[in-house]
Structure 1
């Protein structure tokens, strides 16, 4: 999605391009209006420092220079290639190593300049011009100039066949880049794509030096050999144990809305791995780590009561958590059956039983905070009786064991997912019980990574528990014929995705986004939505940290009072 509110970062011919000064003028009223509320929130935070609840953080203060922040991730990563950074473990680290042309500011809701000091587009969204910020260098000392930007954009659009690197899925229709001036690059697309600018803010569009682009697959996968322009650089690594990043002292090109415009406050960030979910809260409470991702709901209240922080940044860069429907087996080919499954989910029960106050029940395939979000909650209300009627009408009759049958086949479904979410398996355990009441059997293989590896390409596995980055819109998720996530490609939906890419910000685009959401969630029910995407972090009382709209920690502006 292009995630815009009141500003248009890609004006048509003759329009003013987005620059720092213009953006500040456009957002000044928004900031002023929010100031009083922000001040009141800070006051409340200070007063309640000893009684923190989920989502709170310590009050702001003067940043402390120096020190090391220890961050615990969920599982180790052995392949750091940029364009495959669609997993939290990788994106959360590369976010501090690789800068991008644009930045989506989660506070203002605007796409703002970063390594591109200006950017614009033609009215058709087929041509884009980037003015490259002066004075930026990669960590290997080479300049980040227009030629380097072109080389990176070509790698995103075409992939790097010699290194067996596939194109970036969010760069659909990419045709060419041209250096039109020493500090300017023009991009041409084969078809309109108003999501293109938004895609340039993704970690998967992080810029690397030309020398990095020239490496083979193994070289581009090794963090020690990746040269970016970010505020941190690789220092050392112990495979499967930890990665150490060191501050880049000459860093001076943060996104213009960042509070810290210079080098990071921290000297180092140590990323350790803590796969055991039961140990994460204790690691924070004992001071072994300053920040950890992936708290289980049962630990949130105790951690907050101990004086530590529970932080829950919303993932507006992602879809809501869902069971994506895969129609390959044929059992879910009928939209009536898919709609019955949607109505057979008691989301409030999942929230009350499995989740915590850090989570919000989904009301669409988009999160509540995403521009263009449409609230479909009234039509997603739990209604097992209507679900049964839909299944009856679809010809699935209840068998002797309570499971529905049709043409000698049981309505028995399998769900697969990674173990990245601490709540995904128990959530599907509850859904298994709920669907049993409407005559549907669910085989729960969520959080089983071994099973997932073989199930992803298998069309006989009907459901995939997931949330997906949507920098390129919803099309790249649900549109491709060879999509292993959904095993479906709906021509009518694909027309909507194309229309969305051709539309600029405004009422027409909002209308198309609303149609997409209604089709995906209600009419065709390809997305059985569960809860808004959020990543729940635990932090020590002296840890000061903000997050991107993709929930990645921003280490460039982080500091610890105990440093």
Structure 2
């Protein structure tokens, strides 16, 4: 659910941040697999496995059909109710301004930009974007400096009527002005900004220049006329959750390799059956059951990669029984993350040490276990003592009570995969041992964004997925009191907003990261709103020969890679 930083993903099983379910992997890049290849010990180094092929090795023509967890109602990827799935679809018919290698090396897309220059002027970071003279929107209007201005003005937080998923980075910009002509944008930050390469990777059409269009113009609607790129929308059906893309005749760059690309909204069970029946060309196989069904299929390939993901358990402090930070801490310390992870990764030939940061992934430079430093430990006795001290005493049924109320709350689970249900039941059992009654409520994958974004829940298992390596740049998405998309635990402290703001004034990336990790420990120690649960592998099965997989952000097999969508297709 993020501008291109962290995003939210669904289920039990997606920092850019984007919302995503924690499920097993009905979408193209989710999952975990265990085909016994010995690459199972994860999270300490980056592994990409996406069948990279040069364009001349990819066939011209053909079709691909992919599953997607949801075709979100909100199709503006910048808006707070968008998800990782919103971003996935957006990328296929809107400008890809920048690319990243799997390792996170940045470059600009020459189809849209002919030059990008960064410099320091009077203590400010200044970036000059020179736009390709050929670049234009599908409605025929040129892509100009005003595209950058619109993207900045709608996402910088100055007008609260724009309900942005994140203002990180854009809030640090002082001005966006016209350069030598309309085809040049000059972006001036207010002081140094170490992470400028994470901004303007996606941009908004200048038609999206008022809050009504920004917030509501993409509700159950896509705007191909405001897009640009090798592909455009052929048709979309929000009721059935089907989106078809076709070649864009107005595109000036290398043509897309495919004649047609289709996304179909599917539950986990439906997607694995559809793959086995030849109805779709790729699906995630993140659980033992899913992997077992496909690992011996002929003419298929199983891909295993590092997932840029932190699965989390959020508690809603707005709920009366969860308002006390000590109660939230006790609940978290009553959950054995290692046992839940073993259930999650059962049959996948994979294990990992539970993650301890929402800022960085374990293989990144500067990573440390902030959650443990903040005081977390799995300790049922200590958890019970904390609940005693908070005034919650066990009743005759073993469930704690206070002022006549039971310590009970509800956890929605997304999707129908057996592994998801098993993980939820394990947590229920663990919490019952310390006198906490957690009940499971099953919800459809298609309802994930609406339920989570709506905030009508007590606890939630979901995930944050990253689109680039600049983790500390997006701390506000996680810990600021103004955050509206990722951290819905209602635990953010406004005093930390200023601390994060001050952090961003450090010009050196390494120094800023070190300071950010120290601040994360401080925040976790007092809030106890979000518990990191696992990272996990990204494992998908594809029909043999599908190449240049997951070119869009948040999808899973090419690390931090954002690749040209026109190169995705069938290998010759």
Match of 1:510 in 2: 513
**Cα deviations by residue, 1:50-97 (Å, 9 ceiling, x for unpaired):** 989999968666322221111122233444234237313322111121
Q: What's the TM-score, normalizing by structure 1? A: 0.74
Give the secondary structure class of the aligned counterpart of 2:78.
Answer: helix
1:337 to 327, 330, 334: 327
Deviation at 1:197, TM superposition (A): 4.3
Task: Work out which of the residue numbers 267, 270, 278 in structure 1 matches 2:262.
Answer: 270
- Give the superposition deviation at 1:434: 0.7
Unaligned stretches of 5+ in structure 1? 5-47, 254-261
Does residue 355 of structure 2 align to residue 362 of structure 1?
A: yes
Moved more, 263-272 or 304-313: 304-313
Q: Note the alpha carbon deviations across 1:17-44, whole angstroms, 9 max, x for none.
A: xxxxxxxxxxxxxxxxxxxxxxxxxxxx
Superposed counterparts of 1:28-47, under 5 Å: none
After superposition, residues 73-472 of structure 1 pair within 5 angstroms as 73-84=68-79, 86-103=82-99, 105-114=100-109, 115-116=112-113, 117-120=115-118, 122=120, 127-134=125-132, 135-157=134-156, 166-167=163-164, 169-170=166-167, 171-172=170-171, 176-182=175-181, 183-188=183-188, 194=194, 197-201=197-201, 205-208=202-205, 210-211=206-207, 216=213, 220-221=218-219, 222-239=221-238, 240-248=240-248, 251=251, 262-275=254-267, 277-293=268-284, 296-307=287-298, 308-311=300-303, 314-316=306-308, 320-356=310-346, 357=348, 361-366=354-359, 367-370=361-364, 372-375=366-369, 382-416=378-412, 419=415, 424-445=420-441, 447=443, 461-468=457-464
Distance 1:297-1:122 versus aligned 2 partners, 3 A rule:
farther
Q: What's the CA shift string for 1:449-499, capped at 9, x where partnerless? A: 77985786568x542333346676121333125748122331453343223
How much is the aligned-residue C-alpha RMSD, in angstroms?
A: 4.1
Q: 8 Å contact 1:56–1:310 — kept in the other structure?
A: no
Return the structure number with greater strand share: 2
Q: Is the 8 A contact 1:99 1:228 kept in 2?
A: yes
Aligned length: 500
Tell which deviates more after alignment, 293-302 or 69-78.
293-302
Alignment partners' CA distance in 2, 1:477 and 1:519: 13
CA, structure 1 residues 79+132, in 2 after alignment: closer, same or farther (shift >3 Å)?
Answer: same
In structure 2, what is the Cα distance between the partners aligned to 1:386 and 1:450?
36
Hey, what's the Cα distance between the residues in 1 that align with 2:49 and 2:63?
19
TM-score by length of structure 2 reads 0.73
CA distance 1:334–1:506, shift in 2 (3 Å): same
Q: Distance in 1 between matches of 2:302 and 2:158?
A: 39
Output one character per residue of 1:407-451: Cα deviation in whole Å (capped at 9) or x when no partner: 444322333465599865542221111111122221223646779
Deviation by residue 1:298-329 (Cα, 9 ceiling, x = unmatched)? 1113312224334455553x5x1212232223
1:365 alignment partner, SS class:
coil
Q: How far does the alpha carbon of each residue in 1:256-296 deviate from its partner, in whole angstroms, 9 at most, with x for none?
A: xxxxxx33222221222323x21222322332111235765
Structure 1 residue 520 displacement after superposition: 4.6
Shift of 1:154: 2.7
Residue 522 (structure 2) aligns with: 519
- Which protein has the bigger helix share? 1
Structure 1 SS opposite 2:135:
coil
CA distance in 2, matches of 1:451, 1:69: 25
For 2:568, the equivalent position in structure 1 comes to 558
